[in-house]
Amino acid sequence: MNRIEQLIGEIEDFIEDCKEAPFSGGNKIVVSKSELEEKLLELRDAVPEEIAQCQKIISNQDAILKSAKAQADLTIAKANEQAQQQIDQHEIMQRAVATAEKLKSDAMAQAQQIVDSAQEQADGIRMGSIRYTDDMLKSLQTIISHTMTESQSRFDSLQNSLKSSYDIVSSNRTELAQGVSGQASDDLQGGPRA
């Protein structure tokens, strides 16, 4: 398990451990903003480390290519050496040149094949690294979006609860004012009527 996956697991555990929000029916939670920001900061710091590891893998491509070139150069050098030895013998000179050219051609083809294979592997590693990083960022984006939605929902729930309390208080004050107003009217007219 890499560091990004570990941090995402910790964020999920953190969300699971949060208290339920009052009046939410169990589907909303109270989140400590500072703790969540700390976890997200750790995740943000871990992403460049993962990318650096991927870049290190990609940089090995240069070593593979250098090795392939060195192997090709060595094969060509051996082919040239064999050709030079055969040239010394006049009667087989034509065969020596043909053999040397064949060896050289084979070596070049083999070297090209090694280079192409190394390039293909490096491209595969690079694409895998990009896909992996994108998957991790997508997971992070989902967590942030989910947290934003929950926060908005909790805020809306609190606002509705406060609005309801405000309406009840307003209604009670209106009833109280009507009761006081009715009592004052009765007092002015000599008391309540029977």
The predicted pLDDT at position 92 comes to 65
Looking at every residue in the chain, the average pLDDT score rounds to: 82
SS (H, E, C) 89-103: CHHHHHHHHHHHHHH
- What is the mean predicted confidence (pLDDT) over 42-55? 75
Reported as a pLDDT band with limits 50, 70 and 90, residue 43 is confident
pLDDT tens for 109-167 read: 999 999 999 899 989 999 998 999 888 888 888 888 888 888 898 899 999 999 999 99
State the CATH architecture for 3-155: Orthogonal Bundle (1.10)
Torsion, CA 95, CA 98, CA 99, CA 103, rounded to 10: 170
Residue 145 C-alpha from the chain's centroid: 13
- The answer to whether 154 and 28 are in contact (CB under 8 A) is yes
- What is the mean predicted confidence (pLDDT) over 44-67? 75
Query: What are the sequence ranges of the domains in the chain?
Result: 3-155
Dig out the tokens for 112 from the structure: 């090209």
Residue 107 CB neighbours (<10 A): 20
pLDDT at 188 over 70: no
Reported as a pLDDT band with limits 50, 70 and 90, residue 90 is low
Reported as a pLDDT band with limits 50, 70 and 90, residue 194 is very low
- What is the mean predicted confidence (pLDDT) over 62-82? 84
Beta bridge partners of 20: 29
